[in-house]
Amino acid sequence: MYYISSWKLFYMSQPKLKILLVEDDPVLGYVVKDYLQKQEFEVTHCTDGDAAWHQFMKNIFDICLLDIMLPGKKDGMELANSIRKKNENIPIILLSSKNMDNDKIAGFESGADDYVTKPYNLQELLMRIQVFVKRSKKKVDIGPMSFNIGDLVFDYTNLLLKNDKVEYQLTQREADLVRYLCLNPNKVLKRDEILMNVWGKDDYFLGRSMDVFVTKIRKYLKSQTEAKLQTIHGIGFKFIYNPS
């Protein structure tokens, strides 16, 4: 009880975080929603994938909790895949009675960040949610939100990289990576360091994803003679920035 009270005390002065809960079992859905609301979250509960997708497109959520076995055209994995295509950064936790390794792998491949098997402990679910909440706050609450890169202005808050001639609308992940580079200019940054600070974890598949984002950022900066994203083979990258 002390743990839960401490969580509520910490967030009582903060805007309520919004959770999209998708659970077709009405009793379990009610119990989870009621519990999370008592922890000062704002919870929208849907009982099928189609209604959940409609809510996601209409509202802004901070985290999604998705049951896998759902009625309607979209099951939980299809819903996770659609949400991930629309928003690369929002945390997605899958909830399922399927506990085989291949089920979990399929869940992560659909775009989920975590996989919780049923029956689950509500306090454990809360702790998993807290991990993503704290990670997100750590990324966006510290340091400057705007940078000059040559003649480009990087506006992290609005996910924009622009000058008088061009304007690039970045994804959240691209903006997270550019900001991390701007905060660490002219330093050799190890691959695992970048992954932990931008993606929140280090694994092979995320490393391959990072390489794709690096290629995109190089294209955005190709006209800038003062800025270069250099590969340090076998180690990582170095954002070389020497303003004249």
Q: What is the pLDDT of residue 74?
A: 87
Of 96, 119, 140, the position where a domain reaches its end is 140
Q: What is the pLDDT of residue 142?
A: 52
105 and 217 in one domain? Answer: no
Instruction: Give me the chain's average pLDDT, please.
Output: 85
> Which CATH number goes with the domain that contains 18?
3.40.50.2300
134 and 150 in one domain? Answer: no
121 and 18 in one domain? Answer: yes
181 and 134 in one domain? Answer: no
Q: What is the pLDDT of residue 15?
A: 63
58 and 151 in one domain? Answer: no
- Domain containing 121 equals 2-140
Task: Please tell me whether residue 190 adopts helix, strand or coil conformation.
Answer: strand
Number of domains the chain is built from:
2
E strands along the chain, which residues? Answer: 18-22, 42-46, 63-67, 92-96, 114-117, 146-149, 152-155, 160-162, 167-169, 188-190, 227-232, 236-241
129 and 8 in one domain? Answer: yes
Q: What is the pLDDT of residue 171?
A: 87
Instruction: Spell out, as residue ranges, where the chain has pLDDT lower than 50.
Output: 1-13, 140-141
Of 81, 114, 140, the position where a domain reaches its end is 140
| pLDDT per position as a tens digit, 69-97 | 988 888 999 999 999 888 878 899 999 88
183 and 130 in one domain? Answer: no
